[in-house]
Structure 1
């Protein structure tokens, strides 16, 4: 349900009692996640009524807000999000579009920096043996009036080549969201109805690309910026990219006239809309070093190489029927990270360092005092007590992990969400599993994971409970190598772990028990 439709339903049902607010004198607070809800509850105590949009056990990267969530936002006095692209874009849009104009709207990861929170750039592992190819919106679009709730619309408007072209995203549980599908033609009339991907400003997304026949393709993308739901989209440019599929990249020069080509054949690349420059180009990162190693490649020089080793078969199942018949051969550049994965340049999982969570608490305290000055003494008292508890928690986590021999402090997981834990508590990230979500993991994927476990003599791998249903590769390889599979919590609670303190203590204990 769209935010606009949700508001229409809400206004027509105003006789129904509010879900969050009973207007009982307490400050009404909405958070995006249960983890933030817990922090707010500790600071706010009895003076706040707090609820989270993403339910415990839910995935903040992919959760879609409900009408009930919209109602909660409408009645809130204060909203706390993590932001830096942790949450699904529709969660942020729901907050920004429906929150009262007088309500506080706080992005904790950003505001916590003034309390000495440490930020880690998000550098992605480029372990796939074909290029990662995604979409990116670069820049903040401030000159157009863009904000964090604005949409960047990227549309495929034309393709030439010997076969069909698809661009799609595979969700957390195997469902597919098709962005581009040339089999029924692109909507070249407007370019912004079908065959369109939507991104926040200054973010990118992973996705899978499929080509049905070998040869040289030319794919034209067009982009617009929609500042808000009422505004007419602003054109941001159009460019054509060349793709060589199962043939030598040199054929791009002879068949498409690409002069002085730059072949994109390793690491990570995004077909990028630059909001500030008003153009589309390829942002190429062959070494996986993030901003330090990114190269801007003009669209008319970029040649995206889809090699013969990308030859695959269409998986069975209705979710892939749009590609054709199961078993038919295709060339596929696989999605690099399982599930909906839209993010920016900053790792958003700051709370895995307890000192960063303490910075969050200070921001929460100050925000509640500003909203409810009469409660200032209570908020300061609660925050002081909770900060002391978190300080003790930080020491506990550090002591537990310090008890693990240094040559055994290697973390292998299913989700790249623990860089802050590794940096703060001296753990080494040995790898995370990023299988092709559309097909069975390749022998190369399994071999890399097997070699990592064997060469480092890793005694255990770690699995987030909410990801257990889609982690067969990790568990199978662990079983083959005779190592334990142990639990670790990333960004959501469940019935066993219901608070932030419990989560971090659990993680420290699990690491100590399974690695020590």
Structure 2
């Protein structure tokens, strides 16, 4: 333990949004506007908005784009959000692809050109913070296959569009993503032929999770192509490739091909080289291998066989109860991210770095407020220093054998590293369906093997964690609450959030748990 000494809007919609009155509704801001504020500030999340408000005091009028109950990974901005951003003197965001790409595209399309747009993660180390790699390892018994974009694209807010252009095979392929509330969004559906609608966008150096669903066993060949889309309206195709899937145990891979049937991999497009390939994580080493599309086979075995859910939103997959071979998205909700963990504030020392950066940027934008910002920052840093010590003391009371976290969402790596905890698992049932008996058993085994007395749910994800609750009950362990990306009606400021997390962890994992 270290020492503690202290969803995407189109260009047409965003153009309309910019013309709307600033009083337009549609977003849960941190507080009402202040008519005598020196600066109008937009923040992407309620956590960031709270930190800005503590530094800025009455000199800033700050609102959050993502409501305090919202999920920054999946929130889609409203016209009211865009209207407010047009009035911003400064915009603060987290960066590291925490925010849904549509949020950042809206900011770049609507914020005044001369308004500073600050991403904290870009220079966090300069202000005393630390950033670390995001580790994802769910130990699935089938391949976890996502989509990825590598290489840079000119222009802030520019992106890469991936389009499925051709499919050969015995059945239909659907590629879709299930959001935090269990609603599926279809990216590719071959049932009505493939065309321009069978596409989606990602920002540069991004990765996303998806479900791949095949309606019949056999061999499939999917051709995809990539193109860049820049903020000045240019569209440029840069490459294509064909990927082979063997679905069902009877389907045979071509001789000499590299077969991927487990672990974590992505269908990847490189906007700089024009190459299209499969990017696979090597077990344990942290290294990645890249396989040309024509040299690799993606295996979907019979153990991936499921049934079409009965819920109406999943009717696009076929008749309820029909066979379906699925490579799951594996984690809850929409989660576009890069290689670095964006949940930086879960270490209080990093929140201190945010505050120092906020002071610097507000002072730069409003020099007359320097004295106010310096005074507020000094007071708040003192509060955060005491909070850091309080969190450390609370978590130090947890016995070593109980210092394991099982949560709904991989948002607590910084907390674990800073305060001597371990992330034992963030596995939740695949969001689009009820888990299999084997998956329920595996989750139960993890809880039993780790001998944890409690598991932890985030309030904004609790609606999608019914099975985690049931397994916890079956294993005789508690279900407790932890805050990751969002506030709620009970907790609506950063200090209260971290104090709650420390108290809840100590209570639910302590000796008397």
TM-score under structure 1 normalisation?
A: 0.93
Shift of 1:408: 1.2
**Residue pair 1:267, 1:288 contacting (<8 A) in 2 also:** no
Aligned to 2:28: none
Q: Distance in 1 between matches of 2:290 and 2:249?
A: 24
Cα displacement string for residues 255-311 of structure 1 (whole angstroms, at most 9, x for unaligned residues): xxxxx311111111100001121111000114265xx32100010101000111111
Q: Distance in 1 between matches of 2:142 and 2:270?
A: 25
Shift of 1:8: 4.2
Shift of 1:7: 4.4
Aligned to 2:29: none
Match of 1:172 among 160, 165, 180: 180
Aligned to 1:385: 379
**Residue pair 2:332, 2:408 contacting (<8 A) in 1 also:** no
Aligned to 1:236: 238
Aligned to 1:190: none
Q: Distance in 1 between matches of 2:188 and 2:14?
A: 30
* Alpha-carbon spacing, 1:440–1:355, altered in 2? closer, same or farther (3 Å): same
Shifted more, 394-403 versus 446-455: the winner is: 446-455
Question: Is 2:430 the partner of 1:427?
Answer: no
**Residue pair 2:408, 2:457 contacting (<8 A) in 1 also:** yes
Aligned to 1:111: 123
CA RMSD of aligned residues (A): 1.7
Q: Distance in 1 between matches of 2:240 and 2:375?
A: 56
> What aligned pairs does 1:205-224 form with structure 2 within 5 A after superposition?
205-224=208-227
Q: Distance in 1 between matches of 2:333 and 2:74?
A: 8
Question: Is 2:348 the partner of 1:354?
Answer: yes
Q: Distance in 1 between matches of 2:243 and 2:14?
A: 40
Aligned to 2:63: 51
Cα displacement string for residues 174-215 of structure 1 (whole angstroms, at most 9, x for unaligned residues): 11111111111111xxxxx31002111110111011111111
Q: Distance in 1 between matches of 2:363 and 2:193?
A: 56
Q: Distance in 2 between matches of 1:269 and 1:17?
A: 45
> What aligned pairs does 1:42-121 form with structure 2 within 5 A after superposition?
42-121=54-133
Any idea what SS the aligned residue of 2:259 has? Answer: strand
**Residue pair 2:132, 2:340 contacting (<8 A) in 1 also:** yes
Aligned to 1:226: 229
* Alpha-carbon spacing, 1:276–1:393, altered in 2? closer, same or farther (3 Å): same
Shift of 1:80: 0.3
Q: Distance in 1 between matches of 2:492 and 2:432?
A: 33
Aligned to 1:457: 451
Match of 2:11 among 4, 9, 31: 4
Shift of 1:165: 1.0
Shift of 1:353: 0.3
Cα displacement string for residues 217-259 of structure 1 (whole angstroms, at most 9, x for unaligned residues): 111000101012x423111200001111114564334xxxxxx
Aligned to 2:363: 369
> What aligned pairs does 1:116-515 form with structure 2 within 5 A after superposition?
116-141=128-153, 145-147=154-156, 149-187=157-195, 193-228=196-231, 230-247=232-249, 250-253=252-255, 260-287=256-283, 292-515=286-509
Shift of 1:432: 1.3
Q: Distance in 2 between matches of 1:449 and 1:56?
A: 30
* Alpha-carbon spacing, 1:164–1:10, altered in 2? closer, same or farther (3 Å): closer
Structure 1 unmatched ranges of 5 or more: 188-192, 254-259
Cα displacement string for residues 141-172 of structure 1 (whole angstroms, at most 9, x for unaligned residues): 3xxx243x112100100011111111111111
Any idea what SS the aligned residue of 1:155 has? Answer: strand
* Alpha-carbon spacing, 1:3–1:178, altered in 2? closer, same or farther (3 Å): closer
Cα displacement string for residues 286-343 of structure 1 (whole angstroms, at most 9, x for unaligned residues): 4265xx3210001010100011111111011221111110011111111121211111
Shift of 1:4: 3.3
Any idea what SS the aligned residue of 1:276 has? Answer: coil
